[in-house]
Amino acid sequence: MTHRAVDFPRAPAVARRLVSLVAALCLASLGVQAVFAAGPTLRSLADARGVKIGTALAANHLSADATYASIGAAQFNSVTPENEMKWGVVEPNRGQFNWSGADQIVSFAQSHGQRIRGHNLVWHSQLPGWLTGGSFSAAILTSIMKQHIATEVGRYRGRVAVWDVVNEPFNDNGTLRSDIWTQAMGMGYIATALRAARAADPNAKLFLNDFNIEGVNAKSTAMLNLVKTLKSQGAPIDGIGFESHFVLGQVPSSLQQNIARFTALGVSVEITELDVRMTLPTTSAKLTQQASDYRTVVNACLAVSGCRAITVWEFTDKYSWVPGTFSGQGAADLYDQNLQTKPAYTAVQQVL
């Protein structure tokens, strides 16, 4: 027996073509086509413009799903841990810290040259039971908050570029949300949190982040007024995150104008958690509308010089938070359940 049968250069043309075809099919089934979606990657386009295109990532999926990890690395130049830096995960018991998920995402992002958005330090949700049930005095709660911020921001000093220091402080009518923070400290908790974050990493950009502040409305006006107040107090505030969890066809027409009224105050704006949900099942008309909605949002941000970053809240419908939160809704992301690009991906690619 000779080895002629596996001598590729001398194999007949038809056999060579067969081998190529099988190889292509194998690569496709491994999802390689999704990683190398047609055309330039989103991050290469964003890099060329000096902007960020980011995604939320989940540590458990990075470990378990190689295609997810490949796309997450190949397509995005900014990463936000979806849950791994939240209080309940990071400090499940008072003074006991668990960094495993956060460290995993930080090292993933660093090894792929991606910026990291830290999310988040102070919020009403996903808090550990010891904190919500602790009935702490204002003085104790203030020191717990400062300690938590100093520890988390300090750990990632120089590695996390941007922090959502306070998340979702307002009600939709523009009043301050009633939670453990406001009940103990009033509105002052926000400036206290910002100052603690600044002290722990003077170079990190400090943001407040909220939903339903994308258009001009009572809630965004309350946020705008908060920025003015913080600035007048000399509290460190660098930017405002517009979460941007949109409903199909309902991107606010005042989005760009609203971004501009914030940047006029000297803070930057980022789109921090973009997704566009629809009532399931999908149709091609809905996916076309969704592509148009994504295009509108990216255009509105990039039209304003103070808005240089757009982050999607997971890039694939496979792992989106939407179906678990909004009954009957889904398909909100750039990639479908099979990690294949959707029209929304192509729209973002074209705009970038």
Which positions are catalytic? Answer: 168, 273
**Contacts (CB under 6 A) with ligand XIL, residues 27-46:** none
Q: Which of 212, 341 has the CB closer to ligand XIL?
A: 212
Contact 308, 253 (CB under 8 A): no
Please report how close the Cβ of residue 23 comes to ligand XIL at its closest, in angstroms: 37
- Residue closest to 192 by CA, chosen among 206, 203, 178, 205: 206
The answer to whether residue 212 forms part of the interface with ligand XIL (CB under 6 A) is no
Helix (H/G/I), strand (E/B), else coil: 308: strand
Contact 32, 71 (CB under 8 A): no
Specify the pairing of strand 268-279 against strand 329-330.
antiparallel
Q: Which of 199, 323 has the CB closer to ligand XIL?
A: 323
Please report how close the Cβ of residue 56 comes to ligand XIL at its closest, in angstroms: 7
Q: What are the phi and psi torsion angles at 31 (to 5°)?
A: 85, 10
Size of the site for ligand XIL (CB under 6 A): 6
**DSSP per residue, 31-86:** THHHHT-SSS-HHHHHHHHT-EEEEEE-HHHHHH-HHHHHHHHHH-SEEEESSTTS
Element (H, E) at 117: strand 115-122
Of 83, 104, 244, 341, the residue at the interface with ligand XIL (CB under 6 A) is 83
Distance separating alpha carbons of residues 252 and 275, to the nearest angstrom: 14
Contact 192, 200 (CB under 8 A): no
The answer to whether residue 270 forms part of the interface with ligand XIL (CB under 6 A) is no
**Contacts (CB under 6 A) with ligand XIL, residues 113-152:** none
Q: State the residue number with the nearest CB to ligand XIL.
A: 321
Please report how close the Cβ of residue 108 comes to ligand XIL at its closest, in angstroms: 17
Map tokens 């940047």 to a residue. 263
Q: Which of 124, 231 has the CB closer to ligand XIL?
A: 124
Helix (H/G/I), strand (E/B), else coil: 118: strand
Of 68, 108, 321, 335, the residue at the interface with ligand XIL (CB under 6 A) is 321
**Contacts (CB under 6 A) with ligand XIL, residues 236-255:** 243
Distance separating alpha carbons of residues 295 and 349, to the nearest angstrom: 9
Per-residue binding letters, 180-209, with ligand XIL (x by CB under 6 A): ------------------------------
Q: Which of 262, 352 has the CB closer to ligand XIL?
A: 262
The answer to whether residue 167 forms part of the interface with ligand XIL (CB under 6 A) is yes
The answer to whether residue 82 forms part of the interface with ligand XIL (CB under 6 A) is yes
Please report how close the Cβ of residue 1 comes to ligand XIL at its closest, in angstroms: 57
Please report how close the Cβ of residue 322 comes to ligand XIL at its closest, in angstroms: 9
Element (H, E) at 205: strand 205-210
Q: Which of 243, 336 has the CB closer to ligand XIL?
A: 243
Distance separating alpha carbons of residues 181 and 144, to the nearest angstrom: 11
Instruction: Estimate the crossing angle of helix 100-111 against helix 66-75, to 10 degrees.
Output: 50
Please report how close the Cβ of residue 170 comes to ligand XIL at its closest, in angstroms: 13
Q: Which of 76, 321 has the CB closer to ligand XIL?
A: 321
The answer to whether residue 319 forms part of the interface with ligand XIL (CB under 6 A) is no
Please report how close the Cβ of residue 99 comes to ligand XIL at its closest, in angstroms: 18
Here the tokens at position 167 are 């998340």
Here the tokens at position 329 are 């809704």
DSSP symbol at 92: S
Binding residues (CB under 6 A) for ligand XIL: these are 82-83, 167, 243, 273, 321
